[in-house]
Amino acid sequence: MLYFSSIGCNPLIAMNPAEFLLDLANGNINDVSVPSKLEDKVQIENSDARKRNRKPSPAAVHEYLVEAYETRVADKEKKKLMVPTPLDEEVKAKGLLWWKSDNNSLKGLQDQVNNGPVKAGLLFFIAVFWGFFPVFTTIFTFPQERAMLSKERAADMYRLSAYFLARTTSDLPLDLILPVLFLLVVYFMAGLRMSVASFFLTMLTVFLSIIAAQGLGLAIGATLMDLKRATTLASVTVMTFMLAGGYFVKKVPIFVSWIHYMSFQLPHL
């Protein structure tokens, strides 16, 4: 409000600051004092006596506000933005999730594995992400390829199992690129167990989860053949696996505890 007052724009009546700013943004100055510079400009542009007392147009108001900002504030604000904010290493580490978490302490292990009171464990996040992502990307595959597959199957060109194996195998190189890049960054930044066996075991587990998730996505897409219903069923299925897997509830009722054996996500240990 002090800034707009300095450029000659003041509310003529008691007005909420937010409402006042919205009026200016819309070029509505019925209840706003007109700066003398803007008023003189309007009078010059409208020299006809019948138009001499006309209010500035919204375009003229916008032009005046932009000009005032560029001449009074723009350079100063740009200089402020160019000045880097000094942060020491301790502050940087406290802005980062799982940064070099200590797997030798109980708290560090809880951050990496269990769902603590503040944030879910890192391994839980990895399992959820690489479970959701492949399911929803493969849901769209079969409905788009059904016509071609039906035509080739009618000609007895190959078995359905051959199509599935070829489709899965051809996707393997691309399916490996993203999780490998992901783990190369996350694994070492989070300070997970630093051993070759642990790293490749994690990679293998994520890879197998992706393969299983893709199979589930293909099955759902082929069963329903409707993207909206398939997406809904996939969401319910994956969420059921998460809830029954023991991530959020440690004492899972026995009548649903068997579901986690069907889950492709990392089991809760």
CB 24 within 8 A of CB 16: no
Do 149 and 120 share a structural domain?
A: yes
CB 103 within 8 A of CB 109: yes
| pLDDT given at position 178 | 86
What range does the domain containing 22 cover?
15-82
Number of domains in the chain: 2
Sign, CA torsion 128/134/137/142: negative
Which structure tokens are listed for 149? 């597959």
Do 126 and 58 share a structural domain?
A: no
| pLDDT given at position 103 | 57
Domain boundary among 82, 102, 118: 82
Do 108 and 133 share a structural domain?
A: yes
Report if residue 9 sits inside a domain: no
- Residue 104, CB-side half-sphere exposure with 13 Å CA sphere: 2
pTM of the model: 0.55
CB 225 within 8 A of CB 146: yes
Do 235 and 129 share a structural domain?
A: yes
Do 140 and 256 share a structural domain?
A: yes
Which structure tokens are listed for 206? 């994520």
Question: From the first residue on, what is the mean pLDDT of each consecutive set of 10 residues in the chain (269 residues)?
Answer: 85 85 82 72 55 67 85 84 71 64 54 43 77 83 82 88 85 82 86 85 85 87 86 88 72 79 64
Report if residue 266 sits inside a domain: no
What is the spatial distance between Cα 54 and Cα 44, in angstroms, rounded to a whole number? 11
Report if residue 49 sits inside a domain: yes
Do 106 and 77 share a structural domain?
A: no
Do 222 and 143 share a structural domain?
A: yes
Report if residue 116 sits inside a domain: yes
| pLDDT given at position 112 | 47
Do 134 and 69 share a structural domain?
A: no
| pLDDT given at position 49 | 46
What are the Cα distances from residue 182, in Å, to 80, 126, 266? 35, 9, 17
What are the Cα distances from residue 133, in Å, to 124, 155, 164? 14, 34, 19
- With H, G, I as helix, E, B as strand and everything else as coil, classify residue 32: strand
Do 74 and 102 share a structural domain?
A: no
| pLDDT given at position 225 | 84
Domain boundary among 55, 82, 109: 82
What are the Cα distances from residue 71, in Å, to 77, 82, 117? 11, 18, 51
Do 244 and 164 share a structural domain?
A: yes
Instruction: Identify the CA nearest to 265 among candidates 143, 122, 124, 75.
Output: 124
Domain boundary among 82, 113, 131: 82
| pLDDT given at position 69 | 87
Do 215 and 124 share a structural domain?
A: yes
Residue 247, Cβ neighbours under 10 Å: how many? 23
Do 101 and 25 share a structural domain?
A: no
Report if residue 8 sits inside a domain: no
What is the spatial distance between Cα 23 and Cα 1, in angstroms, rounded to a whole number? 13
What is the spatial distance between Cα 247 and Cα 268, in angstroms, rounded to a whole number? 6
Report if residue 38 sits inside a domain: yes
| pLDDT given at position 89 | 62
| pLDDT given at position 117 | 35
Report if residue 4 sits inside a domain: no
Report if residue 59 sits inside a domain: yes
Supply the angle between the helices 122-138 and 141-154 in degrees, to the nearest 10: 50
| pLDDT given at position 233 | 92
